[in-house]
Amino acid sequence: MEELIQGVAKFQKEVYPNNEAKFRKLANGQNPEVLFITCADSRIDPNLLTQTQPGDLFICRNAGNVVPPHSNQTGGMTASIEFAVAALGVSHIVVCGHSDCGAMKGALNPDALEGLPHVKEWLGHCRAASEVVKERHGHLDKCHLEEVAEENVLLQLQHLRTHPAVAAKIASGRVRLHGWIYNIGSGAVECYNEQTKKFEIMDSSYSLELEEGLAQGKGEVA
The CATH class of the 31-215 domain is alpha beta
Residues 108-154 have pLDDT tens digits of 999 999 999 999 999 999 999 999 999 999 998 899 999 999 999 99
Instruction: Tell me how crowded residue 218 is: count the other CB atoms within 10 A of its CB.
Output: 15
Determine if residue 60 is left, alpha or beta; phi over 0 gives left, psi from -120 to 50 gives alpha, anything else beta: beta
- Express as a percent the part of the chain with pLDDT over 90: 87
220 — pLDDT class (breaks 50, 70, 90): low
- Asked if residue 35 has pLDDT above 90, the reply is yes
Residues 159-192 have pLDDT tens digits of 999 999 999 999 999 999 999 999 999 999 999 9
Residues 5-19 have pLDDT tens digits of 999 999 999 999 999
Q: What is the pLDDT of residue 207?
A: 67
When the pLDDT of each residue in the chain is averaged and rounded to a whole number, the result is 92
Annotated ligand binding at 41? The verdict is yes
Contact (Cβ atoms closer than 8 angstroms) between residue 129 and residue 147: no
195 — pLDDT class (breaks 50, 70, 90): confident
Domain boundaries, the chain: 1-29, 31-215
13, burial (CB in 10 Å: exposed 0-12, middle 13-18, buried 19+): exposed
Annotated ligand binding at 101? The verdict is yes
